[in-house]
């Protein structure tokens, strides 16, 4: 179902053809990160810390080095000391997270790596590296880390964003603050006020493909890296930094990527693989085991969030006070900043204070995860709003409509919204049959909404017209969920040739201009805009060539349906095919580049409706019906828009019900497997109904907003609100596991 | 360490390879035979990305020791298409957009084939349970389930 | 590590006797994860699946024999077995996914000695016996005698289970097994409960056996609940007594999968529900089927 404001009569945009890279992916030919095998390639293995916090006293690699088949062993000492080189603190953090120097800051932190002829030899050698640690006291949660006498991860960490700056170091990396109006006055005007405290656990992106990288270093200092990432230009930059070399010495080829959700925008293995390859003089492959993925790659933050909100009888939110602390893991950089900006961004609230803290602790460094920071804040805010609606006996959609941000609303984080589609998502839910479907015993229904900025950033594209009039569209944005299809659809629309005549390609760092990461829901928007720009340059060029052929002015030539037409029909049309065949006589090969730093990002909103059934005797919650309405701006590729919406929702359902990092008291992760870290399986779920809302983004040639992220923002609150509706308990802790639901039910009874 | 010599039929062809005894069948297929269609998502039986058919039954190749393959008949995703023609499941996955990143796809295709070989007309619930051993983090399963339903219909000639 | 696949029970026992660091395996669905995590490191792995009697399901006049290494899928696909022992069949069928089912065995499920093993409470309530082979021939143990604690069994290093013997289900008897897991599939029991009942002609309960999994170091029987059921028709009051007895029989721990409190409470719920299902099944099993 799509609500289309106007129908521009697109021929390709908005259709559902088979994706260009599909056949390779259903026949097993597509090459993912771990699939590359090079002649003479060695297998690498990483040595990791068993301690959550410890000083490295010494590392003895001699036994490993002398083992059969072992060709290289490296430690932190094999990498440049960036601090001594005056690098930026964030670069030093990246380097130290890749391989520890003096201290390990979490269980799973890399301390050494080996390369050997066989996998088995590498594993044996990794076990033979002896590391002597001096174990230090650790902190695992924001509460522990923020306590007065907490052990420090970084001796020199002075909280940023506090004026005057504190004199003493702490585990608080920074503070953020957004304020408007007068809280006291706002709460004074409220007829109902609710104040609640929420906690959430770290959760992992859970991509099915573990991180993998192959590096082949040459004696001239150059190296070629193949890796599965969300941005091979970014991998090149980070790897160059950690190795202390110029990015130009590294060539990075993007393997097909088996999921990322933000978690593959950072480096882990690439610099290690390059260094091992340099030491061994042979290509080296490094692939993580699943438990390494859990222990050492980016989950998103565990949090503690307090929300107080007030509403008047007519449903207007009069004031909101939000306090939040986000775990960053071992190094500064939790998404609390984005959390602060998004927490109440759906609503027009006159009085608010949003305060947040970025807190380091002895867990793996967090990485981006779909709408980073927003889902936890939305869980808190949308749960409180649900309670407020109940208190004043107002429909949950109506209370949101009463406060919804619209075009012209001053967003809580600063700017005024241009045309946005939040209201339309709320209406789409209300009009859907699910909204009034019958509920059975122990079933309940919940609503929640979410906001995400979406991103723009930098992209490049090159379009080549082949001699038979087909086109190759080259970008540098790894295709993580069907973006090749979107590129091809937009190019087909622009060039007026069939979708099947277009071959979209993801090129390496030496073959196409710079592209930022595939993240922030930006690829269809920004890389898509670069493709559109390049296609328009091609069309200009083609019109010129037709004009030359006909000996008329360019303005006499129009480009329609893939052919040059004379405005008066004075000449027989020239198809792209004709022009391509004659390119040698009309100016040479037909090709164009476009690069841009995208502006005109279009904010995304999602409203979701969840029906659950709770077993009151065991606390087990089953999602029985689910509907998500999301403003896509324009769904270039509806199949993959729905895919993003459904995927985001299901990750959110996992986060809501079962997913969590469990650590023992020593800071060792207890559930680093897919058996114990429970992402949803097919039998846990119903179909996920989608309502694509299309309120075009005025700043994009096709109205695209980006759809990858906002879908994960509402589910936790939607599920929690549905549980409340079903069995009358208000869940304030994630995950809302059977154990917690039963505890809450017991408390109600007792 | 002396390596063990294994003889199998893989995707219709008699295939021999050498392996260490402790190597998983998955790693042997990928590293020794060069068939990288089956993926390792976990190596411990939890994700199904490595699903293959062994003597007509769906198995996690990561849970088998390579020597166990001796004398068996194996089908991997590379053997699913019949001399260049896609299997209905492959076609329906493509047409139904049942893959996003595609890392889980080979495993789903093999598990779905095992299901439809056994039960040509499964209910939605039966499909969901039969595929519960295959994790997909991208799609939320919706389009995968529909693609299997569609393939089942086609294979029944409806 | 060396892989060997003996083709007879004798060959297997002599292999085990001659190599101290040998380990048998069937489906390896427990063994592989343990090897990968470094929890075990045997020098020789003995594959039991090439021994014919270990991968067979047979029924003669008064009992079933199930080879200890038989993939549980063979058992759940066996219609007449599943009809007779729906609880045991369902318990075996709960193990992992279809992929796991094509490998996992009752022998492995039992001898891995996890307190959460799904088939074990169902075997215990059905009085299943394990035929154990060793260098000096075979001996027969009740399944309830095999496991002594997490990862611990009463088998010697050179012994293994050949097959399980299961007496035919009497008339007016039925079994059931239920477990609680956060996910619907691919999960390890937080609590499991098995029940078997036999009804007298008047519909009252003549025999009852109840066992719980995942709530103590080994599977536990619930004698108080069994006692409460005898002679009753499992009215609400009796069922509440069953639940209370089940909760009291638990000796659980807090771990990553569940808390003591949760396990106790839900053990009661599942025990009650399992009894109700077992009774329904017993009522349907009269002389004609
Ligand atoms: C993804 C996944 C999901 C799972 N889900 C479940 C579940 O839901 N419920 C559940 O109970 N389990 C589950 N398991 C655990 C496992 O699958 C079962 O315990 C299974 O029954 C083990 O059987 P196996 O034949 O694979 O055992 P193996 O791994 O071959 O052996 C297990 C242990 O038993 C010993 N052993 C095996 N056979 C014999 C024998 N005949 N005599 C003596 N010793 C023997 C082995 O030496 C080893 O110590 C799961 C495992 C995985 C990987
Ligand atoms: S890799 Fe075999 S099940 Fe995950
Ligand atoms: S499509 Fe990415 S995991 Fe399934």
For A466-544, where are the E strands, in sequence order?
Answer: 471-475, 502-506
Question: For C173-284, which CATH class?
Answer: alpha beta
pLDDT value of residue A60? 98
Per-residue pLDDT tens over the stretch A649-686: 999 999 999 999 999 999 999 999 999 999 999 999 99
Is the omega angle on the peptide bond into residue C131 within 30 degrees of 0, that is, cis? no
- CA of C187, closest atom in ligand 1: 8
> C258 CB near a chain A CB, below 8 Å?
yes
Same domain, A378 and A404: yes
Same domain, A621 and A713: yes
> B132 CB near a chain A CB, below 8 Å?
yes
Report yes or no on A663 lying in a domain: yes
List phi, psi (to 5°) of A482. Answer: 110, 15
Strand arrangement of the beta sheet that strand A471-475 belongs to: A502-506, A471-475, A457-465, A591-598
Cα of A261 to nearest chain B Cα, Å: 9
- In Å, what is the CA distance from A132 to each residue of A54, A55, A103, A106, A129? 10, 9, 11, 16, 10
The answer to whether the beta carbons of residues A644 and A633 sit under 8 Å apart is no
Q: Which residue of C has its CA nearest to B66?
A: C3
Same domain, A551 and A686: no
The reply to whether residue C99 touches residue B51, judged by beta carbons under 8 angstroms, is: yes
> A306 CB near a chain C CB, below 8 Å?
no
Cα of C278 to nearest chain B Cα, Å: 24
- In Å, what is the CA distance from C39 to each residue of A102, C115, C217, C249, C252? 29, 17, 19, 31, 23
Q: Give the span between the Cα atoms of A476 and A251, in whole angstroms.
A: 13
Same domain, A719 and A697: yes
Map tokens 């038989």 to a residue.
C70
Report yes or no on A680 lying in a domain: yes
Q: Give the span between the Cα atoms of A703 and A634, in whole angstroms.
A: 5
The answer to whether the beta carbons of residues A145 and A171 sit under 8 Å apart is yes
Mean pLDDT for the stretch of residues A13-33: 96
Report whether pLDDT(C151) > 60: yes
pLDDT value of residue A601? 85
Q: Give the span between the Cα atoms of B124 and B150, in whole angstroms.
A: 11
Report whether pLDDT(A458) > 80: yes
For chain C, where are the E strands, in sequence order?
Answer: 2-4, 22-25, 44-47, 57-59, 63-67, 129-134, 137-142, 147-149, 152-153, 160-167, 173-180, 191-199, 205-213, 220-221
pLDDT value of residue B90? 98
- The two structure tokens encoding residue A247: 């990015």
User: C111: Cβ below 6 Å to ligand 1?
Assistant: yes
Strand arrangement of the beta sheet that strand C63-67 belongs to: C57-59, C63-67, C160-167, C129-134, C137-142
| Nearest residue by C-alpha to atom 4 in ligand 3 | B136
Report whether pLDDT(A576) > 50: yes
Q: Which residue of A has its CA nearest to B97?
A: A639
Mean pLDDT for the stretch of residues C95-112: 98
User: C48: Cβ below 6 Å to ligand 1?
Assistant: yes
Same domain, A440 and A467: no
- Say which of A683, A684, A739 has its CB closest to residue C258: A739
The answer to whether the beta carbons of residues A422 and A695 sit under 8 Å apart is no
Q: How many CB atoms are closer than 10 A to CB A166?
A: 13
pLDDT value of residue B118? 96
For residue C61, name the pLDDT band (cuts at 50, 70, 90): confident
Report whether pLDDT(A2) > 80: no
Domain boundary among A544, A565, A595: A595
Give bridge partners of residue A694 from the DSSP assignment: A4
What residue ranges define each of the domains in chain B, with the CATH number in brackets? Answer: 4-79 (3.10.20.30), 88-155 (1.10.150.120)
Q: Collect the ranges in chain B with pLDDT lower than 50.
A: none
- Burial of A709 from C-beta contacts in 10 A (0-12 / 13-18 / 19+): buried
Report whether pLDDT(A519) > 80: no
| Nearest residue by C-alpha to atom 3 in ligand 2 | B45
Q: Crossing angle, helix A715-727 and helix A638-657, to 10 degrees?
A: 50
Same domain, A467 and A552: yes
Report whether pLDDT(A1) > 50: no
Same domain, A469 and A539: yes
Same domain, A652 and A727: yes
- Say which of B38, B80, B139 has its CB closest to residue A647: B139
Mean pLDDT for the stretch of residues A311-315: 98
- The two structure tokens encoding residue C259: 């808390």
List phi, psi (to 5°) of C222. Answer: -125, 75
pLDDT value of residue A284? 98
For chain A, the domain total comes to 2
Q: Give the 3-state DSSP-derived string for C245-282, with helices as H, strands as E and coil as C.
A: HHHHHCCCCCECCECHHHHHHHHHHHHHHHHHHHHHHH
Per-residue pLDDT tens over the stretch C173-210: 999 999 999 999 999 999 999 999 999 999 999 999 99
- Burial of A481 from C-beta contacts in 10 A (0-12 / 13-18 / 19+): buried
Same domain, A630 and A533: no
Domain with A734 in it: 373-454+601-749
For residue A417, name the pLDDT band (cuts at 50, 70, 90): very high
Residue whose CB lies within 8 A of the most ligand 3 atoms, among A259, A263, A518, A674, for a mutation test: A259
pLDDT value of residue A600? 79
The reply to whether residue B67 touches residue C102, judged by beta carbons under 8 angstroms, is: no
For CA atoms A144, A619, C180, A434, the dihedral sign is negative
CATH of the domain at A644: 3.30.365.10
User: B132: Cβ below 6 Å to ligand 1?
Assistant: no
Q: Give the span between the Cα atoms of C264 and A572, in whole angstroms.
A: 85
- The two structure tokens encoding residue A630: 């999301």
DSSP H or E segment with residue A180 = strand A172-180
DSSP H or E segment with residue A26 = helix A22-26
- The two structure tokens encoding residue A54: 């410890």
Same domain, A610 and A738: yes
Q: Is A107 helix (H, G, I), strand (E, B) or coil?
A: coil
The answer to whether the beta carbons of residues C275 and C283 sit under 8 Å apart is no
> B153 CB near a chain A CB, below 8 Å?
no
Per-residue pLDDT tens over the stretch C8-60: 999 999 999 998 899 999 999 999 999 999 889 999 999 999 999 999 999 99
Give bridge partners of residue A160 from the DSSP assignment: A174
User: C177: Cβ below 6 Å to ligand 1?
Assistant: no
For residue A6, name the pLDDT band (cuts at 50, 70, 90): low
Give the C window 92-111 contacts with A, CB below 8 Å: none
- CA of C117, closest atom in ligand 1: 11
Pick the closest to residue A477 from A263, A230, A264, A708 (CA basis): A230
Report whether pLDDT(A428) > 50: yes
Instruction: Determine the topology of domain C2-167 in CATH.
Output: 3.30.465
Q: Give the span between the Cα atoms of C99 and B58, in whole angstroms.
A: 5
Report yes or no on A555 lying in a domain: yes
Quick one: how far is CA A272 from the chain centroid? 24
First to last CA, chain A: 46
pLDDT value of residue A7? 60
Q: Which residue of B has its CA nearest to A229?
A: B101
For residue A230, name the pLDDT band (cuts at 50, 70, 90): very high
The answer to whether the beta carbons of residues A424 and A693 sit under 8 Å apart is yes
Per-residue pLDDT tens over the stretch A526-563: 899 999 999 999 999 999 999 999 999 999 999 999 99
Report whether pLDDT(A4) > 50: no
Q: Which residue of B has its CA nearest to C31?
A: B63
Quick one: how far is CA B91 from the chain centroid? 16
Pick the closest to residue A337 from A467, A491, A160 (CA basis): A160
Label residues C92-101 b or e (16+ Cβ within 10 Å = b): bbbbbbbbbb
Report whether pLDDT(C119) > 70: yes
Q: Give the span between the Cα atoms of A412 and A408, in whole angstroms.
A: 12
The answer to whether the beta carbons of residues B134 and B51 sit under 8 Å apart is yes
pLDDT value of residue A83? 87
Report whether pLDDT(A411) > 70: yes
For A507-658, where are the E strands, in sequence order?
Answer: 557-560, 563-566, 574-575, 591-598, 604-614, 621-631
First to last CA, chain B: 55
pLDDT value of residue C259? 95
Per-residue pLDDT tens over the stretch A601-621: 889 999 999 999 999 999 999
Q: Mean pLDDT in chain C? A: 96
Cα of C49 to nearest chain A Cα, Å: 25
The answer to whether the beta carbons of residues B45 and B51 sit under 8 Å apart is no
List phi, psi (to 5°) of B98. Answer: -85, 15
Same domain, A682 and A620: yes
- Say which of A256, A649, A681 has its CB closest to residue B132: A681
Domain boundary among A595, A614, A630: A595
- The two structure tokens encoding residue C257: 């999968």
Pick the closest to residue C27 from C105, C95, C114, C110 (CA basis): C105
Q: Give the span between the Cα atoms of A440 and A448, in whole angstroms.
A: 21
Pick the closest to residue A579 from A550, A546, A556, A607 (CA basis): A546
Report whether pLDDT(A508) > 80: yes
For A91-136, where are the E strands, in sequence order?
Answer: 103-104, 110-116, 130-135
Mean pLDDT for the stretch of residues A582-587: 91
For residue C287, name the pLDDT band (cuts at 50, 70, 90): low
- The two structure tokens encoding residue B143: 């389009």
Cα three-residue angle C213-C214-C219, rounded to 5 degrees: 40
User: What are the structural domain ranges in chain C?
Assistant: 2-167, 173-284
Mean pLDDT for the stretch of residues A244-266: 96
Same domain, A426 and A528: no
> B123 CB near a chain A CB, below 8 Å?
no
Map tokens 């810390």 to a residue.
A49
pLDDT value of residue B55? 98
Label residues A525-548 b or e (16+ Cβ within 10 Å = b): bbbbbbbbbbbbbbbebbbebbbe
Within 8 A by CB and 6+ apart from C38, the residues are none
pTM attached to this predicted model: 0.97
Ligand 2 centre and the CA of C226: distance in Å? Answer: 42
The answer to whether the beta carbons of residues B106 and B51 sit under 8 Å apart is yes
Per-residue pLDDT tens over the stretch A709-732: 999 999 999 999 999 999 999 999
């Amino acid at each position: 179902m799509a609500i289309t404001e106007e129908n521009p009569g697109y021929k390709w945009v908005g259709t559902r053809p088979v994706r260009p890279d599909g056949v390779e992916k259903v026949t097993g030919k597509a090459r993912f990160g771990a699939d590359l095998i090079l002649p003479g390639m060695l297998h690498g293995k990483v040595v990791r810390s068993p301690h959550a916090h410890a000083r490295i006293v010494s590392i003895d690699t001699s036994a490993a080095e002398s083992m059969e088949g072992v060709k290289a062993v490296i430690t932190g000492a094999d990498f440049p000391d960036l601090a001594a080189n005056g690098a930026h603190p964030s670069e030093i953090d990246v380097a130290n997270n890749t391989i520890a120097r003096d201290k390990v800051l979490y269980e799973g932190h890399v301390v050494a790596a080996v390369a050997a002829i066989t996998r088995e030899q590498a594993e044996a050698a990794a076990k033979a590296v002896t590391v002597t640690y001096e174990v230090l006291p650790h902190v695992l949660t924001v509460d522990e880390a923020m306590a007065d006498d907490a052990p420090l991860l970084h001796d020199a960490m002075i909280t940023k964003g506090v004026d005057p700056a504190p004199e003493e170091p702490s585990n608080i990396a920074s503070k953020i603050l957004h304020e408007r109006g007068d809280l006291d006055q706002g709460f004074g005007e409220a007829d109902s006020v609710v104040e609640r405290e929420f906690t959430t656990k770290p959760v992992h992106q859970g991509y099915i493909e573990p991180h993998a990288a192959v590096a082949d270093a040459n004696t001239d200092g150059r190296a070629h890296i193949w890796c599965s990432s969300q941005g091979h230009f970014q991998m090149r930059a980070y790897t160059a930094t950690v190795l202390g070399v110029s990015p130009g010495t590294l060539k990075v080829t993007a393997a097909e990527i088996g999921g990322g959700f933000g978690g593959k925008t950072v480096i882990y293995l690439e610099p290690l693989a390059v260094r091992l390859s340099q030491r061994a003089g042979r290509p080296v492959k490094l692939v993580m085991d699943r438990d390494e993925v859990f222990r050492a790659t980016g989950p998103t933050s565990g949090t503690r969030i307090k929300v107080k909100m007030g509403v008047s009888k007519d449903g207007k939110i009069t004031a909101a006070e939000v306090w939040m602390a986000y775990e960053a893991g071992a190094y500064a950089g939790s998404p609390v900043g984005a959390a602060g900006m998004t927490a109440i961004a759906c609503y027009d609230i006159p009085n608010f204070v949003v305060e947040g803290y970025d807190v380091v602790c002895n867990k793996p460094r967090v990485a981006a995860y779909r709408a980073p920071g927003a889902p936890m804040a939305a869980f808190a805010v949308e749960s409180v709003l649900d309670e407020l609606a109940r208190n004043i006996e107002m429909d949950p959609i109506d209370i949101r409509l009463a406060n919804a941000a619209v075009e012209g609303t001053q967003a809580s984080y600063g700017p005024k919204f241009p045309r946005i589609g939040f209201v339309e998502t709320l209406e789409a839910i209300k009009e859907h049959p699910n909204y009034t479907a019958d509920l059975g015993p122990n079933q309940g229904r919940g609503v929640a909404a979410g906001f995400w900025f979406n991103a723009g950033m930098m992209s490049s594209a090159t379009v080549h017209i082949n001699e038979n009039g087909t086109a190759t569209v080259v970008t540098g944005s790894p295709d993580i969920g069907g973006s090749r299809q979107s590129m091809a659809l937009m190019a087909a629309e622009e060039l007026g040739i069939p979708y099947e005549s277009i071959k979209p390609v993801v090129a390496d760092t030496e073959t196409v201009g710079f592209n930022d990461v595939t993240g922030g829901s930006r690829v269809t928007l920004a890389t898509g805009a670069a493709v559109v720009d390049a296609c328009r340059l091609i069309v200009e060029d083609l019109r010129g060539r037709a004009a030359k052929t006909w000996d008329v002015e360019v303005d006499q030539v129009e480009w329609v349906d893939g052919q040059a037409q004379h405005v008066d029909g004075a000449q027989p049309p020239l198809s792209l095919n004709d022009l391509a065949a004659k390119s040698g006589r009309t100016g040479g090969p037909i090709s164009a580049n476009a690069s841009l730093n995208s502006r005109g990002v279009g904010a995304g909103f999602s409203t979701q409706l969840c029906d659950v059934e709770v077993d009151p005797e065991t606390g087990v919650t089953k999602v029985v019906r689910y509907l998500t309405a999301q403003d896509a701006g324009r769904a270039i590729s509806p199949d993959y828009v729905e895919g993003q919406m459904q995927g985001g929702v299901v990750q959110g359902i996992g986060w809501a019900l079962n997913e969590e990092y469990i650590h023992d008291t020593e800071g060792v992760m207890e559930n680093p497997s897919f058996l114990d870290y429970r992402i949803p399986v097919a039998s846990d779920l119903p179909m996920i109904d989608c309502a694509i809302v299309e309120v075009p983004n005025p700043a994009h040639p096709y109205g695209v907003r980006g759809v990858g992220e906002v879908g994960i923002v509402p589910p936790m609150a939607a599920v929690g609100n549905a549980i409340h509706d079903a069995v009358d308990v208000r869940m304030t802790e994630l995950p809302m596991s059977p154990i917690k639901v039963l505890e809450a039910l017991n408390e109600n009874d007792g | 360490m002396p390596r063990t010599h294994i003889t199998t039929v893989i995707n219709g062809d008699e295939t021999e390879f050498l392996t260490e005894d402790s190597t998983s069948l998955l790693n042997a297929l990928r590293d020794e035979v060069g068939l990288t269609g089956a993926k390792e998502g976990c190596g411990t039986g939890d994700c199904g990305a490595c699903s293959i058919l062994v003597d007509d039954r769906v198995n996690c190749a990561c849970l088998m020791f390579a020597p166990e393959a001796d004398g068996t008949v194996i089908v991997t995703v590379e053997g699913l298409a019949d001399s260049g023609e896609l299997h209905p499941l492959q076609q329906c996955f493509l047409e139904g957009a049942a893959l996003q990143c595609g890392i889980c796809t080979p495993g789903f295709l093999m598990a779905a084939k095992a299901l439809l070989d056994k039960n040509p007309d499964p209910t939605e619930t039966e499909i969901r349970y039969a595929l519960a051993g295959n994790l997909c983090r991208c799609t939320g399963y919706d389009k995968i389930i529909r693609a299997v339903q569609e393939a089942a219909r086609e294979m029944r000639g409806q | 590590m060396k892989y060997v696949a003996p083709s007879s029970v004798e060959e297997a026992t002599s292999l085990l006797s001659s190599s101290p660091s040998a380990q048998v395996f069937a489906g390896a669905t427990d063994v592989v994860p343990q090897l990968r995590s470094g929890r075990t490191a045997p020098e020789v792995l003995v594959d039991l699946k090439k021994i014919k009697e270990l991968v067979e399901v047979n029924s003669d006049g008064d009992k079933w024999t199930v080879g200890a290494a038989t993939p549980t899928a063979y058992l759940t696909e066996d219609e007449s077995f599943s009809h007779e022992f729906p609880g045991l069949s369902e318990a075996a069928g709960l193990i992992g996914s279809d992929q796991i089912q094509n490998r996992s065995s009752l022998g492995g499920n039992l001898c891995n000695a996890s307190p959460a093993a799904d088939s074990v409470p169902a075997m215990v309530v059905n009085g299943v016996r394990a035929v154990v082979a060793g260098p000096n021939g075979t001996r027969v143990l009740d399944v309830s005698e095999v496991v002594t604690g997490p990862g611990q069994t009463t088998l010697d290093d050179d012994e293994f289970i050949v097959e399980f013997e299961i007496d035919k289900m009497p008339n007016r008897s039925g079994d059931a097994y239920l477990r609680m897991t956060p996910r619907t599939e691919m999960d390890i029991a937080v609590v499991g409960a098995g029940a078997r009942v036999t009804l007298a002609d008047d519909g009252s309960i003549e025999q009852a056996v109840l066992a719980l999994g995942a709530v103590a170091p080994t599977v536990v029987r619930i004698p108080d609940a069994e006692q409460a059921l005898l002679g009753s028709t499992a009215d609400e009051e009796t069922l509440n007594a069953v639940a209370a007895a089940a909760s009291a029989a638990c000796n659980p721990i807090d771990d990553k999968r569940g808390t003591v409190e949760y396990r106790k409470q839900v053990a009661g719920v599942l025990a009650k529900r399992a009894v109700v299902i077992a009774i329904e099944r017993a009522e349907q099993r009269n002389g004609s089927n």
